[in-house]
Amino acid sequence: MEKINKIYGIKAVISDKKANEQPSFLSESETKGVRNFHTTVEGYKATPLVSLDNLAKELGVSKVYVKDESYRFGLNAFKGLGVTYAIAKVLCEKLDVDINSVSFDYFKSPEVAEKIKDMVFVTATDGNHGRAVAWAATQLGCKSIVYMPKDSSLRRLQHIKDAGADASILDVNYDDAVRKSKEKAEEIGGYIVQDTAWEGYEKVPNWICQGYTTMAAEALDQMKLEGVIRPTHVFLQAGVGSFAGGILGYYANIFKAQLPITTIVEPEKAACIYKSALANDDKPHAVTGDLDTIMAGLACGEPNTVTWEILRDFASAYVSCPDYVAARGMRVLANPIGSDEKVVSGESGAVGLGLVSLLMEREELKELKDKLQLDENSVILCFSTEGDTDPDHYKKVVYDGKNPSIFE
Ligand SMILES: Cc1ncc(COP(=O)(O)O)c(C=O)c1O
């Protein structure tokens, strides 16, 4: 591991790990049914892969692709992919059926609905995952209970309530809210559908990760239509690391020795993956405290224990970013150059692109740019994992310039 000195608040660790075996639960054969299943969910459509050609020219790279997950299932974020697949797998186990033989509508049929109507799904969330759980549970005629950490956005809480959940904000941070949801599920005999794993709780979060592979596969298909076989660089933002681990683990299986150079990006106050990489003892390490950041979806202090190993073994770099990096990404995507398309990207969706723009534009960050081998041949893939899920804050950042720029 090599530590890069802090510049403009940006800290990085470069990996010297040689990749181990690819994670088998994210192999092509293990995940091949996932996308088929998603196509049966009402409203499924591949989200746009936006090619920002003028931005690429401006930054001096070959291509900048942004997968716009604000279009996913009308939920303004990607989380419905993990939730629909994981809940379906839970139901398949209960009903003793094979997921490859059923559609999402199967669970809504009267005879199945009768069997599952008393099920309660419980989860903790910074917003997007909980909204997806509420949305899926309601469609299936089931109940959901959703806990949010302190200082959560009231707009996000309202979205979750509107989707049908019994939702509330607790006076604890994200990781403690996860513990509360586990306790609640145990107390009422509910089903915990948490998008992070810990020792003894791996099955459901692994299904959630498998669910995320649909967007990774879609992106590759969409690039192929433009004659691009693989990106050279992928930037993945991390909260607990399930999203990043799901995508990276899948790409590790697909690309093997040709894996794109992958950078894990986190907010500085909740950089548990960066902290774990820096410790360099193979173990996940937690960050505690308020986890205060505008990137609410990434405000998680305890790594997913399964995906940590994927991030440890396959990522090339881990970067800890101050909030202005996300704000910059939101603004860059909201202000397209020339004929480039606009992408409405929220705080947790935009940080990867914000980092890319800084690496390519700021001479002071050249060391990190060079370590990542970013140059005029680079084909960069970012995932904008949410739209304006907190519209008031989005406007403050994008319209009013709230949150400092690098120059302040
Ligand atoms: C918009 C958005 N992006 C990224 C993430 C990160 O996902 P993970 O916690 O799996 O790292 C989240 C998690 O809530 C999110 O809401």
CA distance 22 to 185: 33
CB 140 within 8 A of CB 108: yes
Percent pLDDT > 90 in the chain is 95
Question: Is 340 an annotated catalytic residue?
Answer: no
pLDDT score recorded for residue 203: 98
pLDDT digits (tens, 9 = 90+) for 20-56: 799 999 999 999 899 999 999 999 999 999 999 999 9
Q: How far is the CA of 203 from the centre of ligand 1 (A)?
A: 19
CA distance 306 to 245: 8
Residue spans of the domains in the chain: they are 2-78+204-398, 80-201
Cα 285 to the center of its chain, rounded Å: 19
pLDDT band at 18 (very low <50, low <70, confident <90, very high): confident
pLDDT score recorded for residue 321: 97
Q: Which residue from 302, 278, 352, 319 is spatially nearest to 16, judged by alpha carbons?
A: 278
Two tokens at 272? Answer: 């548990």
pLDDT score recorded for residue 407: 56
> Ligand 1 pocket, 237 CB below 6 A?
yes
Among the residue ranges 34-38, 75-79, 401-405, the one predicted with the least confidence is 401-405
pLDDT digits (tens, 9 = 90+) for 310-342: 999 999 999 999 999 999 999 999 999 999 999
> Ligand 1 pocket, 80 CB below 6 A?
no
Phi, psi of 119 (to 5 degrees): -75, 140
What is the arrangement of strands in the sheet containing 261-267, beginning at the earlier edge strand? 2-7, 10-14, 317-321, 261-267, 233-237, 379-384, 63-68, 49-51
Angle at CA 22, nearest 5°, toward 17 and 24? 150
pLDDT score recorded for residue 19: 73
Phi, psi of 163 (to 5 degrees): -80, -5
Taken in order 80, 85, 88, 94, the sign of the CA dihedral is: negative
CB 66 within 8 A of CB 382: yes
Q: Which residue from 59, 63, 65, 54 is spatially nearest to 338, judged by alpha carbons?
A: 54
> Ligand 1 pocket, 378 CB below 6 A?
no
pLDDT digits (tens, 9 = 90+) for 256-271: 999 999 999 999 999 9
The atom number, within ligand 1, closest to the CA of 195 reads 10
CB 91 within 8 A of CB 116: yes
pLDDT band at 403 (very low <50, low <70, confident <90, very high): confident
Is pLDDT at 199 greater than 80 in this prediction? Answer: yes
Q: Does domain 2-78+204-398 have CATH number 3.40.50.1100?
A: yes
Q: How far is the CA of 392 from the centre of ligand 1 (A)?
A: 20
pLDDT digits (tens, 9 = 90+) for 345-392: 999 999 999 999 999 999 999 999 999 999 999 999 999 999 999 999
Q: Which of 194, 234, 240, 243 to mutate to test the pocket of ligand 1 (most atoms within 8 A of CB)?
A: 243
pLDDT digits (tens, 9 = 90+) for 229-244: 999 999 999 999 999 9
The atom number, within ligand 1, closest to the CA of 383 reads 3
Percent pLDDT > 70 in the chain is 99
> Ligand 1 pocket, 174 CB below 6 A?
no
pLDDT score recorded for residue 229: 96
Q: How far is the CA of 132 from the centre of ligand 1 (A)?
A: 12
- Active-site residue (options: 79, 143, 275, 369): 79
Question: Is 126 an annotated catalytic residue?
Answer: yes
Two tokens at 18? Answer: 């040689």
**What string of H, E and C letters represents the secondary structure of the chain?**
CEEEEEECCEEEEECCCCCCCCCHHHCHHHHHHHHHHHHCCCCCCCCCEEECHHHHHHHCCCEEEEEEHHHHHHCCECCHHHHHHHHHHHHHHHHCCCHHHCCHHHHHCHHHHHHHCCCEEEEECCCHHHHHHHHHHHHCCCEEEEEECCCCCHHHHHHHHHCCCEEEECCCCHHHHHHHHHHHHHHHCCEECCCCCECCECHHHHHHHHHHHHHHHHHHHHHHCCCCCCCCEEEEECCCCHHHHHHHHHHHHHHHHHCCEEEEEEEHHHCHHHHHHHHCCCCCCCCCCCCCCCCHHHCCCCCCHHHHHHHHHHCCEEEEECHHHHHHHHHHHHCCCCCCCCCCCCHHHHHHHHHHHHHHHCHHHHHHHHHCCCCCCCEEEEEECECCCCHHHHHHHHCCCCCCCCCC
> Ligand 1 pocket, 300 CB below 6 A?
yes
pLDDT score recorded for residue 290: 87
Across the range 217-233, mean pLDDT stands at: 98
| Lookup result for tokens 């224990």 | 305
Q: How far is the CA of 243 from the centre of ligand 1 (A)?
A: 6
Nearest CA to ligand 1 atom 12: 297
The atom number, within ligand 1, closest to the CA of 246 reads 10
Q: How far is the CA of 346 from the centre of ligand 1 (A)?
A: 11
Q: Which of 385, 389, 393, 394 to mutate to test the pocket of ligand 1 (most atoms within 8 A of CB)?
A: 385
Among the residue ranges 79-93, 187-201, 317-331, 394-408, the one predicted with the least confidence is 394-408
Q: How far is the CA of 244 from the centre of ligand 1 (A)?
A: 8
CATH topology of domain 80-201: Rossmann fold (3.40.50)
> Ligand 1 pocket, 241 CB below 6 A?
yes
| Lookup result for tokens 């959940």 | 165
Q: How far is the CA of 38 from the centre of ligand 1 (A)?
A: 19
The atom number, within ligand 1, closest to the CA of 126 reads 14
> Ligand 1 pocket, 316 CB below 6 A?
no
Nearest CA to ligand 1 atom 14: 297
